[in-house]
């Protein structure tokens, strides 16, 4: 079972969190993901002069990689909280739709299978972490 680290440095099972704490944690992760996606979009859309002004040397910066990694880590963590919320019948659909800016399947752009990142590429969780 997955655990949650509290702000008071304690550890509890996600399944032991009260509904309010669980929903606030989901909202926190969703907000951080949304902020990361917005920041990533802004970085990618910067003009070359703005990149120089802000000290960003090229289009594939370490900052972009760090933001993308943080988004992935938070998305991975979010799934355990969302699963628990769904088991309890708590409504999380609107939060997730706002965070990921979609409410339907993505359109098919080609007939090739999409290349998915393997979880081994981001193996940052183990059974005892949140």
50 lies in which domain range?
A: 18-102+116-122
Q: Which residues contact 50 (CB under 8 A, 6 or more apart)?
A: none
pTM (predicted TM-score): 0.73
Radius of gyration of the chain (CA): 17
Burial class (CB in 10 A: 0-12, 13-18, 19+), 51: middle
On whether residue 11 sits in a domain, the answer given is: no
User: In angstroms, what CA-CA distances link 128 with 5, 9, 12, 67, 107?
Assistant: 10, 15, 10, 24, 37
Query: What DSSP state is assigned to residue 14?
Result: G
- Look at residue 83 and tell me if it is in a domain: yes
Q: In this structure, what are the phi and psi dihedrals at residue 11, rounded to the nearest 5 degrees? A: -130, 130
Per-residue model confidence as pLDDT tens for the chain (130 residues) = 899 998 898 999 999 999 999 999 999 999 999 999 898 888 777 777 777 666 666 556 788 888 889 999 999 999 999 999 999 999 999 999 999 988 998 887 766 666 666 655 555 454 445 4
**Residue 5 forms part of a structural domain:** no
Q: Confirm whether 59 is domain-assigned.
A: yes
Q: Are 123 and 73 in contact (CB under 8 A)?
A: no
Give the total number of structural domains in the chain: 1
């Amino acid at each position: 079972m997955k655990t949650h680290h509290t702000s008071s440095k304690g550890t509890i099972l996600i399944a032991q969190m009260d509904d309010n704490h669980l929903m606030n944690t989901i909202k926190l992760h969703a907000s951080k993901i949304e902020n990361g996606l917005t920041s990533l979009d802004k970085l990618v859309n910067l003009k070359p002069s703005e990149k120089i002004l802000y000290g960003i040397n090229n289009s594939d910066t370490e900052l972009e990689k760090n933001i993308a990694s943080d988004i992935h880590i938070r998305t991975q963590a979010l799934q355990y909280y969302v699963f628990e919320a769904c088991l309890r019948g708590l409504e999380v659909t609107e939060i997730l739709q706002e965070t990921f800016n979609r409410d339907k399947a993505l359109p098919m752009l080609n007939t090739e299978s999409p290349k998915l990142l393997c979880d081994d590429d981001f193996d940052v969780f183990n059974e005892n972490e949140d």
